[in-house]
Amino acid sequence: MREGHLRRVGAVALAALAIGALARAATLREPAALEGQPLLSAATWPAEPPFPHRDRPPPPPRPVTAIPAGRPAVRVPILMYHYIRVNPDPRDVLGFNLSVTPADFAQQMDWLAAAGYNPVDFDDLRGYLLGHGGLPANPVILTFDDGYRDMYTTAYPILRAHHFKAVSYVVSGCVNSPLNLTAAQVLEMDANGIEIGAHTVSHADLTALSAANLQHEVADSKASLEALVGHPVLDFCYPSGRENDAVVRAVEAAGFQTATTTEPGVLHSASDRFLWTRVRVSGGEPLWRLAADMGPAEPGEPVIPSPPPPTPLHGPPRMPVTWPLRPPRTAPQAAPPLEGAAP
């Protein structure tokens, strides 16, 4: 009798947990643009444009876990993509290596979802390392270098179908070029879960530039993208991973908060935030290779009653959390005399 009662109580508690998780998932999926608007009847609901992968069922609820605050370094694989396309020229080996086919990319995103990975962005990682916000367990950051147009036409619909955040590193001087993102595409993605980062004005080798040209490539790309999206652009990526001390100093002096390289690695902390390593995803590589390169995920702990909120997927970004800029390096100044101290 007592055992039956306990079983019923347990079943009710489990059902309540499942309903809670489903409700949270539903909240996550509600576009902010619809909030506060009257509901339309089915007859007046506008027809949706064709949207591949849209009908994927929501994943089954799994235990809610998060990374507890205070870890000084966290394993967050930062995946590095370039083109999401079928390489058009079979003789172009470099192009092949930089091109993940749409089918492979969709399979990789399916695997990330099935394996319980949670894509976050650099704002989330900055917030965690600064003690301002939480991170879900198994975090991963998806970055797309160079701002190619297939980021919008091919990757973005697949990311949206999974409700995944990502980061687009845009070469500011190439916006609106035939192979690159248009300004309107950058704006649309910026408002829908894709963080915009800077990747210089012209994709120059920053280690080979004069001080003035280095400043132009770094600072002007930031200013130009900020003028486009209307909010701070705080994350940078060194073209071809080319950096040295002077380049890193220029990126920090321009007001960026993080920068990524092409060196392999997954463990990141505040102290190395201008040299964050990444996981390269190459054309034709099998899924097991990607899983091996990512290594074991950062474990979380059960969260009661709900995980700390990462930045929203839709709508304008929250105020970014930032490290204070270091003062310029000058000769140390003598401390002022203490009040009341003997001269």
Q: Is 304 exposed, middle or buried (0-12, 13-18, 19+ CB in 10 A)?
A: exposed
The residue of the chain with the least Cβ separation from Zn ion equals: 145
Least Cβ distance, residue 173 to Zn ion (angstroms): 13
Q: How far is CA 176 from the centre of its chain?
A: 23
* Contact flag: residue 298 with Zn ion (CB under 5 A): no
> Whole-angstrom Cα distance, residue 213 to residue 168?
23
> Whole-angstrom Cα distance, residue 28 to residue 25?
5
* Total site size for Zn ion, rule CB under 5 A: 3
Least Cβ distance, residue 153 to Zn ion (angstroms): 19
Nearer to Zn ion, 192 or 240 (CB): 240
* Contact flag: residue 239 with Zn ion (CB under 5 A): yes
Span from 12-20, 41-49, 144-152, 244-252 in contact with Zn ion (CB under 5 A) = 144-152
Distances (CA, A) of 285 to 100, 103, 170, 279, 292: 8, 12, 25, 12, 11
Binding mask 176-195 for Zn ion (x = CB under 5 A): --------------------
Distances (CA, A) of 199 to 99, 244, 297, 329: 18, 16, 28, 26
Nearer to Zn ion, 214 or 321 (CB): 214
Nearer to Zn ion, 145 or 243 (CB): 145
Nearer to Zn ion, 119 or 239 (CB): 239
Q: Is 275 exposed, middle or buried (0-12, 13-18, 19+ CB in 10 A)?
A: middle
Nearer to Zn ion, 136 or 197 (CB): 197
* Contact flag: residue 145 with Zn ion (CB under 5 A): yes
Least Cβ distance, residue 241 to Zn ion (angstroms): 9
Residue with tokens 């909010």: 231
According to CB under 5 A, which one of 104, 123, 124, 146 is a site residue for Zn ion?
146
Least Cβ distance, residue 197 to Zn ion (angstroms): 11
Question: Rounded to 5 degrees, what are φ and ψ at 119?
Answer: -65, 130
Least Cβ distance, residue 203 to Zn ion (angstroms): 6
**Closest by CA position to 313, among listed 25, 4, 21:** 25
Span from 125-133, 153-161, 235-243, 326-334 in contact with Zn ion (CB under 5 A) = 235-243
Nearer to Zn ion, 235 or 298 (CB): 235
Nearer to Zn ion, 123 or 146 (CB): 146
The answer to whether 104 and 84 are in contact (CB under 8 A) is: no
CB atoms within 10 A of CB 311: 19
Span from 143-151, 275-283, 320-328, 335-343 in contact with Zn ion (CB under 5 A) = 143-151
> Whole-angstrom Cα distance, residue 293 to residue 281?
9
- Per CB under 5 A, residues contacting Zn ion are 145-146, 239
